Structure 1
């Protein structure tokens, strides 16, 4: 019983918390799109998040001086996770609804597993492969639905889908990279603090290059959203998520991507007027059902390297 309690405290409870929070972030990001260019919104988010994460690292007793060996990992995680991933998602939501972006992101499990196989020698099961194909078919139906409902915006929809897929691959690369043994030796919270800071610098540079000097929104709701995305949705969630990644691997940790769109699509239906058609319903069922099928197996989804 104590072992089960320990497993729930270390994996189960953090999983529930970061999944629930991330399910709500998509609609909050939507509200950020307006006066402030998306690139600056991302920069503000991670300036705050990086500062707060440094305070968490100090509170945890971690040394923020990581040495020269941490420069490359910090730069890579900052670039892939906190720059490319988030900029792509924010930009994508200018073209397609937040719920659709979240549902496409449910495929995070697939590149995370393939990269885990390539770089961590975590071999996927045959069941995972076939279930993933079902999920991909579901996502394809959601694409068809979007094009049918908004045929005049086909170009925008294509851009939104492409940006989401690009961000998803960047997030997968970051997840797998930080699970490598040579990266795990660095204290987690200090590594996250510096990675978020590096990402914020890159975000600000991109924002200045693409949109000019900083732009601010005087709406209190905008800054409440920034704080929510920076603190609960970045500092808290990544503090919980990456320890889970390090404990059970990047592919299994990406299971959250299956549950997040259910929450996100609910928000999108109520607040964005997302219209459900038979094709959209079938697509969502296949996408989520395929991912669930990839996860439900008598043994682990990822077989150890020496397993049959």
Structure 2
């Protein structure tokens, strides 16, 4: 997904773009849902005053990110069974970005992709952080780390987000801090498989680095000038991030010995699923959320995705659910309840 920006028409280079924590009022139209490009482009929404309330579009987009992204860890694990990690990630994001751009042009005309150099540069930077640094490293880690464990380790994302918000003078609230502490406690439990040698430590550390890159990209996206249409922003970010992933794959020599005929049918199917559902739909939903809901609320996908990922990994791939995974998962899921309830009361 990507991160749409505040309306650049008001100040395309301003550093005080509407932050992701500026929640919209109830009047967010359901047609603005990231799952439906058929509706009109989302209108700019002013920050809410007083009690924060979210429209149906916010919860629909959040539901997409919760469920679909939870399944992408399984998809990635299946893809890298017979495909190189960075090259497959490059194909995924470039294809999804181009498809999204084509849909936008067919629906709204070429003008929907119009953007200044500053906006394009910002979109490319965020795309590199989110997709090369964030998703690309997760894909690499899943060559050795089980999909469920990788998803559970992503639970550290809200902790990074709260730290970044605090560093910039924001005060997320006691509930958010307590939710982060619960998430970190669960994370400590989840690292036990790596410490005990059940998985490679470098894989665990790679996922942790990915969470930092993803958090930085998410945080920066709401504070940089971006194209006015959030879905156009998604397209630019996916193409930029996908090209970067492909270049890294080539630099790593992943093309050597690659035999497309040896790629399994289920890997091709999983790649197609990741392109359409994981990137085209869910990534765009995440991008839309970054500017229509508080960032700490949006980041709670990191607590919910693991539940979906662990369940699918166990049911489809037969991945073992050890006691650290079960206990750690239960702890981090508690964190999302605190953060969500805090944002709704804020």
Q: Structure 2 length normalisation: TM-score? A: 0.77
Alpha-carbon RMSD across the aligned residues, in angstroms, is: 2.4
| 8 Å CA contact retained: 1:21, 1:237 | yes
Residue number in structure 2 paired with 1:126: 174
Partners of 1:22 and 1:195 in 2: CA distance: 17
Query: Is the aligned partner of 1:57 residue 2:101?
Result: no
* 1:5 to partner: Cα distance: 8.4
Cα distance 1:74–1:292, how it changes in 2: closer, same or farther (>3 A)?
Answer: same
| 8 Å CA contact retained: 1:89, 1:164 | yes
What is the number of equivalent residue pairs in this alignment?
293
Partners of 1:5 and 1:235 in 2: CA distance: 21
| 8 Å CA contact retained: 1:18, 1:237 | yes
Query: Is the aligned partner of 1:281 residue 2:326?
Result: yes
* 1:294 to partner: Cα distance: 3.4
Give the stretch that moved more between structures: 231-240 or 207-216. 207-216
Partners of 1:64 and 1:3 in 2: CA distance: 26
Q: Which of residues 314, 318, 321 is equivalent to 1:269?
A: 314
Q: Any gaps of 5 or more consecutive residues in structure 2?
A: 1-25, 31-53
Q: Give a deviation string over 1:135-178, Cα, whole Å, max 9, x none.
A: 21211112224544xx3x56x1x111111111111111111112
The correspondence of residues 39-50 of structure 1 with structure 2, limited to 5 A, is 39-50=86-97
| 8 Å CA contact retained: 1:110, 1:132 | yes
Residue number in structure 2 paired with 1:245: 290
* 1:189 to partner: Cα distance: 1.9
| 8 Å CA contact retained: 2:160, 2:212 | yes
SS in 1 for 2:191: helix
Partners of 1:97 and 1:77 in 2: CA distance: 27
| 8 Å CA contact retained: 2:153, 2:207 | yes
Partners of 1:271 and 1:232 in 2: CA distance: 18
* 1:233 to partner: Cα distance: 0.9
Cα distance 1:233–1:280, how it changes in 2: closer, same or farther (>3 A)?
Answer: closer
The correspondence of residues 1-308 of structure 1 with structure 2, limited to 5 A, is 7-58=54-105, 59-61=107-109, 62-119=111-168, 121-148=169-196, 151=197, 153=198, 156=200, 158-180=201-223, 182-184=224-226, 186-213=228-255, 215=258, 216=260, 217-297=262-342, 300=345
Partners of 2:93 and 2:325 in 1: CA distance: 34
Partners of 1:218 and 1:33 in 2: CA distance: 10
Cα distance 1:278–1:32, how it changes in 2: closer, same or farther (>3 A)?
Answer: closer
Q: Any gaps of 5 or more consecutive residues in structure 1?
A: 304-308
* 1:251 to partner: Cα distance: 1.5
| 8 Å CA contact retained: 2:65, 2:282 | yes
